[in-house]
A and B are shown apart, each in its own frame.
Chain A
Amino acid sequence: DQQVKQNSPSLSVQEGRISILNCDYTNSMFDYFLWYKKYPAEGPTFLISISSIKDKNEDGRFTVFLNKSAKHLSLHIVPSQPGDSAVYFCAASGAGANNLFFGTGTRLTVIP
């Protein structure tokens, strides 16, 4: 039973444009959400996070939006760069949880 879902396995965007990656979750107890980025043959690396008390968190070109009522979050990358090409995983955690629940990932390709 997948508690965190990324329904788009892949996304292609032109360099300089906005990339929007989406994530849905089912567990209303989740209160902390993260995005990880993964290059081939490397482990995932933390990108940005958001607590459920916020609806937006911004870090440079990366912004995460949280819509709790819809149980939906999204990652916006603007402007997109070729170096952003990677697999992006959405993850969620509940209060005091011992682990993260990951989505299946979205492969982003930024075309020069």
Chain B
Amino acid sequence: GAGVSQSPRYKVAKRGQDVALRCDPISGHVSLFWYQQALGQGPEFLTYFQNEAQLDKSGLPSDRFFAERPEGSVSTLKIQRTQQEDSAVYLCASSLDRVGNTGELFFGEGSRLTVL
């Protein structure tokens, strides 16, 4: 497809379960970002990849959160031992170049995680 694709769109997990969220960026986009958007809030930065290299993971809220992009294309965000406070929409975005150069991110539709 032409846009950023995320799956699953909706995920319900019991507290303590592990979840994996997938992002398929626009082909050829070098940069990939994960954002977390809680209800009524704006997206908050989690982590950034340039190709396969994770250059910034300063936004990951705890060591239960892990992201990878092993071949510089598809990325997976994994959350271990989910907690209720992890409930949010997880947005993936990609861009041709670094944000500072182009400024425009292309977002997927998001994965809505609900932890019961």
Contact = CB atoms under 8 A, between A and B. Distances in A.
B110 A43 contact: yes
A100 interface: yes
Interface residues of B, number: 26
Interface residues of A, number: 27
Nearest to A4: B42
A102 interface: yes
Interface string A82-103: 0000000101011111111111
Given A49-B103, A49-B104, A98 B110 contact: no
Contacts of B91: 43-44
Contact of B107 (A6, A44, A93, A96): A44
Interface of A: 4, 6, 32, 34, 36, 41-46, 49, 89, 91, 93-105
Given A43-B91, A98-B56, A99-B45, 7 more contacts: A32-B100, A43-B93, A44-B43, A44-B91, A46-B106, A89-B43, A100-B45
